[in-house]
Amino acid sequence: METKEPENKENNPEEDFPFHHFVRRMMLASAGILSYSFEEMEKFIDKMVERGEVVHKDHEDQFKEMREKRARFIHDRRGFAHKRIEKALDEFEVPTKKDIHEIDTRISDLEKKIDELKKSRDK
């Protein structure tokens, strides 16, 4: 007695080698997971790079603003100090650079007049 396979049953390789089918599906699933993971990781990295650029720009703006505030503060303090020193020098009647320059100019003018008078007298 021979047992014959029914003819209406199709030969399905998955049924012939179920373990082979399982291993093949696991390998394909692993490849899919890796592919999906790389795509998602790339999207994530792109988002983080964009965010880093925004943060970097924000910090640059903040540093620029702080430098400007510091420069204004120093300028204001110098102006304040100069005014205080100028006031103190005025109170002690110390001649300023401008006063000395005016005196130098007047002395030069007087020396020229003296030289002219000497020349006119010598003639």
Q: Who's near 89: CB < 8 A, 6+ residues apart? A: 96
User: How many structural domains is the chain composed of?
Assistant: 1
Q: Report yes or no on 11 lying in a domain.
A: no
Q: Report yes or no on 111 lying in a domain.
A: yes
Q: Report yes or no on 12 lying in a domain.
A: no
Whether 14 shows a pLDDT value over 70: the answer reads no
Identify whether the C-beta of residue 89 lies closer than 8 Å to the C-beta of residue 96.
yes
Q: Report yes or no on 63 lying in a domain.
A: yes
Percent of the chain with pLDDT over 70: 87
**1: helix, strand or coil:** coil
pLDDT bin (cut points 50, 70, 90) of residue 12 is low
The domain in which residue 101 lies consists of: 17-117
pTM listed for this prediction: 0.37
| Tens-place pLDDT, residues 62-101 | 888 888 988 888 888 878 888 888 888 888 888 888 889 9
Identify whether the C-beta of residue 48 lies closer than 8 Å to the C-beta of residue 55.
no
Q: Report yes or no on 67 lying in a domain.
A: yes
Q: Report yes or no on 66 lying in a domain.
A: yes
Local structure of residue 8 (DSSP, 8 states): T
Percent of the chain with pLDDT over 90: 36
Q: Report yes or no on 80 lying in a domain.
A: yes
Ramachandran bin of 94, using left for φ above 0, alpha for ψ from -120 to 50, beta for the remaining angles: beta
**96: helix, strand or coil:** coil
Average of pLDDT values for 41-54? 92
